[in-house]
Structure 1
Amino acid sequence: TSITEVITDKICDIDAGELPGGEEKPGSSDKPGGEEKPGSSDKPGGEEKPGSSEKPDGTEKPGDADKPNGSDKPNEQHPPCADWDDCYCKHFYDLTLILDESASIGNFRWSHEVVPFATEIVKSLHVGYSAVHVGLLLFADSRRDVVRFSDATRYDKSFLLQKIESLKGDYRNGKKTFIV
């Protein structure tokens, strides 16, 4: 699904370059809240004039920000990984998938949309002890912690996929959604 690719790209920081519009990556600048683009001081001629965040500074390729599925995207080069060597998301993250199992979802959408979506996300990640850890939380009128971060299986990809698959027959049809 295309939303899976978008979310995986964001989780995996696939572009790993400057963000369009002068946005700042968390932890990438020495000056929090500054107008400096991440990494711009390391590039020759990369100085930015105040107020010029809407215009490229010459270091970006024209049209890069306009092409969400540009040719340099790993999701076009690499399908979701079948094993660790095929994964393109090789950074360490703690990720919790929060799935809505309230009454508004229904059994059909749960088993044909929500569960397959979660499966595709996990397949696309480099899950492992020194890589991505995945938690799984369901919510409706109450919450269910299916995989907690205190559980050692949070970095076992095959276990996570089995747990997600088992949810197809475990839709509890919550009555309300209590989100604070």
Structure 2
Amino acid sequence: MKKLLNITIVTMLAFTLSACGNNVKSNTIVNAELTDREKGILLTTSDHSFVFDFNIDSEYTEASVWFEKYEFGKLVDEQTGQLLTKIMNNGSIIFTITESEAVENQQLFNVGISSDDGTASVKISNIISTKSTDGMSSVWGSINEEMDITNENLVLASIRYSWGEGGMRSLSSEFYKDVEGQINEIENFEVVYLLRSKFMK
């Protein structure tokens, strides 16, 4: 029941936010500016969330969003929970994360894509690590400027986990544009999830 409620809320929020991309330059994606009400809905239904607005030319007809999982900078899980849907004009990508109450170290990810062509969503779960949650710390980050959707290496958001002592520094803006070229930035993190996207003609 809780799973169905979360999917329903993400879908409803996607409809609410789908008109927000009107101020975004053509063929770009950017962090959405949310109202206090929208922030409240997301805080009530998830532990963490990101919302991105996009605006595309008519030549782009599909969008894909998926997760990659890295351990100490090495890719261990590629294209987890991929969502592919038709898109038109402008819209939003919504990404929420909730910690499982039933399984230790399990994260529940909700992703929705909404545009003038409709809304699609997917829900997946993943075990972060077999380690105990004792001493675990996490840091979250996302793009902080308008990004060109023609960049096929584009990363929208990151979730990074470490155990024990150590700094949890932010990732550079260059990392979100070119993961492969900046992979050293995540080599000291035991687990990293990246939310990636691709827009297709």
With the shorter chain as reference, the TM-score category is under 0.3
More strand by share: 2
More helix by share: 1
Who wins on radius of gyration, i.e. which is larger?
1
Give the alignment's TM-score, normalised by structure 1: 0.27
Q: Which has the higher contact order (CA 8 A, sep 6+)?
A: 2
